[in-house]
């Protein structure tokens, strides 16, 4: 049910269902990525010029939305969901309060599009590279440096292993469509080629888009299935099954870190991630840090290029960092900060849940667009049936024994400190 609450919802919960509907109505006009998107014609022209060594800052204009009405309504929903005593709030009210707050911050961010004022709310939503990873004394920036250095050490040997043949977007579209029809049902998810798409791919509940001017490798195909289809689309479709909170079908800003972390974790569990992918994710975090420290668009482009990316990929990577902000340095769109920190946090959560013998928590993570906090806090409502378990699970989550084996190994191996292991010890033991 995605309409107004009906009499099948317990009276005690109907207030939350009504607030949830108000929330969805309030955010209908808030579109983060479309607001900061660059015209494809500009991209093509600038990529050609940059490829020839003709560097100039792109001239990008944005249409600044007026979201004052939405912000006021979201603030009212925050207040209503919070109740009179913030220490005695139902988990459903807390979920709605947190979600409304994140949309309100996103609205403030979009109303500052094209200015340096875009940066602060962006960081409030997605964090910054220097933030510590939960449970660690290392920062997201430390992790990014580690994976880039590791990739550079291994890359020369690994390149020879990649014998995949690039396929056009239209060919990949047909392959994905057949796989998704077999998994979800015929026509449940459409796969389309989109010439205007900035990212290589994007997924919604019922549509996956592929960038039209690029080719895809076999790794790309596996990653799209594991990341876009079996996480982003799957959680959206499961969210649409929810009888109480229809907002669980929509990605609010506050769930971005968990969603993207879960999606990259799914690549890891599916064997669909390679070291080059980890390097690309990590380079974006380093580039955000560069931009915040004053680097302009051309400097960040040259950084990606020096790291081995093509002119087109370097431009698109720099573009991701500078969407919505001035290109002269000192500002950034922080969204790409969440991919690595989200992966590491989700990985830790999976290991923790396994040690606690709470595989149910891991399954519930796919019931809709949820954060790790939500999965734990909303357990009473999963237990009561107010929130339904997921209808679909990714293939790797359906094989519980295989997942348990991977997690058991991960939990144990985490206790072995590689800096204490000597090579001769290993040789003498085999």
- Asked whether residue 270 is domain-assigned, the answer is yes
Q: What is the dihedral of CA 276, 393, 368, 345, to 10 degrees?
A: -40
DSSP 8-state secondary structure symbol assigned to residue 132: B
Give Cα 366 distance to the centre of its chain. 14
pLDDT band at 5 (very low <50, low <70, confident <90, very high): very low
pLDDT in tens, 395-413: 999 877 777 787 777 767 6
CA dist., res. 19 & res. 159, Å (int): 52
Domain range for 132 is 11-161+250-415
Domain total of the chain: 1
- Asked whether residue 319 is domain-assigned, the answer is yes
Between 356 and 370, the higher pLDDT residue: 370
Angle, CA 266 vertex, CA 264 and CA 269 arms, to 5°: 115
CA dist., res. 383 & res. 381, Å (int): 5
What is the spatial order of strands in the sheet that 190-194 belongs to?
190-194, 207-211, 201-203
pLDDT average, residue stretch 327-348: 95
DSSP 8-state secondary structure symbol assigned to residue 246: G
Judged against a pLDDT cut of 50, whether residue 150 lies above it is answered with: yes
Q: What is the pLDDT of residue 417?
A: 53
% of the chain with per-residue pLDDT over 90 = 70
- Asked whether residue 136 is domain-assigned, the answer is yes
- Asked whether residue 184 is domain-assigned, the answer is no
pLDDT average, residue stretch 74-93: 84
Q: What is the average pLDDT score of the chain?
A: 89
CA dist., res. 278 & res. 339, Å (int): 10
H or E element, residue 284: helix 275-292
pLDDT in tens, 40-74: 889 889 999 999 999 999 999 999 999 999 999 99
Which of 88-102, 122-136, 328-342, 413-427 comes out lowest in average pLDDT?
413-427
- Asked whether residue 275 is domain-assigned, the answer is yes
- Asked whether residue 26 is domain-assigned, the answer is yes
Residue 41 sits at φ, ψ, to 5 deg, of -65, -40
Q: What is the pLDDT of residue 362?
A: 95
C-alpha separations of 275 from 75, 146, 231, 424 in Å: 43, 12, 21, 27
Determine contact, residues 323/62, Cβ cutoff 8 Å.
no
**Which residues neighbour 89 within 8 Å (Cβ) at sequence distance 6 or greater?**
81, 82, 83, 97
- Asked whether residue 201 is domain-assigned, the answer is no
Q: What is the pLDDT of residue 351?
A: 87
Which of 11-25, 55-69, 91-105, 264-278 comes out lowest in average pLDDT?
264-278
Tokens 């290993």: give the residue.
Answer: 426
Query: Length of the chain in residues, anyone?
Result: 430
- Asked whether residue 239 is domain-assigned, the answer is no
Q: What is the pLDDT of residue 165?
A: 59
pLDDT band at 8 (very low <50, low <70, confident <90, very high): low
pLDDT band at 84 (very low <50, low <70, confident <90, very high): low
Judged against a pLDDT cut of 90, whether residue 195 lies above it is answered with: no
Closest CA to 224 of 186, 175, 182: 175
Closest CA to 89 of 289, 380, 413: 380
Q: What is the pLDDT of residue 320?
A: 96
């Amino acid at each position: 049910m995605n309409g107004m609450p009906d009499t099948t919802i317990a009276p005690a919960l109907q207030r939350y269902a009504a607030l949830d509907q108000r929330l969805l109505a309030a955010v209908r006009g808030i579109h983060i990525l479309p607001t900061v998107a660059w015209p494809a014609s500009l991209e093509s022209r600038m990529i050609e010029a940059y490829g020839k060594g003709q560097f100039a800052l792109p001239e990008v204009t944005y249409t600044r939305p007026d979201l004052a009405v939405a912000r006021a309504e979201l603030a009212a929903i925050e207040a209503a969901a919070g109740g009179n005593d913030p220490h005695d709030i139902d988990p459903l009210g807390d979920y709605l309060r947190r979600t409304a707050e994140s949309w309100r911050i996103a609205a403030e961010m979009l109303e500052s599009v094209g200015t340096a004022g875009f940066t602060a709310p962006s960081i409030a939503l997605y964090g910054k590279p220097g933030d510590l990873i939960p449970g660690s004394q290392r920062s997201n920036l430390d992790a990014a440096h580690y994976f880039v250095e590791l990739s550079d050490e291994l890359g020369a040997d690994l390149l020879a292993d990649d014998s995949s043949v690039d396929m056009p977007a239209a060919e990949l579209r047909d392959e994905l469509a057949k796989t998704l029809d077999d998994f979800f049902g015929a026509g449940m998810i459409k796969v389309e080629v989109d010439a205007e798409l900035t990212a290589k791919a994007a997924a919604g509940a019922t549509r996956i888009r592929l960038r039209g001017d690029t080719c895809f490798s076999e790794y790309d195909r596996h990653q799209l299935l594991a990341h876009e289809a079996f996480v982003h689309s799957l959680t959206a479709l499961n969210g649409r099954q929810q009888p109480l909170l229809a907002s669980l079908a929509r990605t609010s800003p506050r769930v971005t870190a968990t969603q993207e972390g879960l999606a990259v974790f799914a690549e890891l569990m599916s064997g669909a991630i390679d070291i080059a992918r980890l390097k690309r994710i990590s380079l974006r975090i380093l580039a955000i840090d560069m931009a915040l420290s004053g680097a302009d668009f051309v400097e960040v482009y040259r950084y990606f290029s020096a790291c081995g990316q093509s002119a087109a990929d370097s431009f698109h990577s720099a573009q991701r960092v500078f969407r919505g902000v001035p290109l002269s340095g000192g500002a950034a769109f922080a969204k790409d900060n969440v991919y690595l920190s989200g992966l590491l946090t989700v990985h830790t959560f999976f290991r923790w849940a396994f040690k606690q013998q709470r595989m149910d928590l891991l399954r519930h993570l796919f019931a809709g667009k949820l954060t790790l906090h939500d999965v734990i806090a909303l357990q009473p409502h999963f237990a009561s049936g107010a929130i339904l378990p997921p209808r679909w699970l990714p293939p790797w989550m359906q094989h519980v024994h295989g997942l348990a084996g991977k997690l058991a190994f991960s939990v144990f191996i985490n206790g072995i400190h590689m800096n204490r292991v000597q090579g001769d010890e290993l040789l003498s033991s085999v």
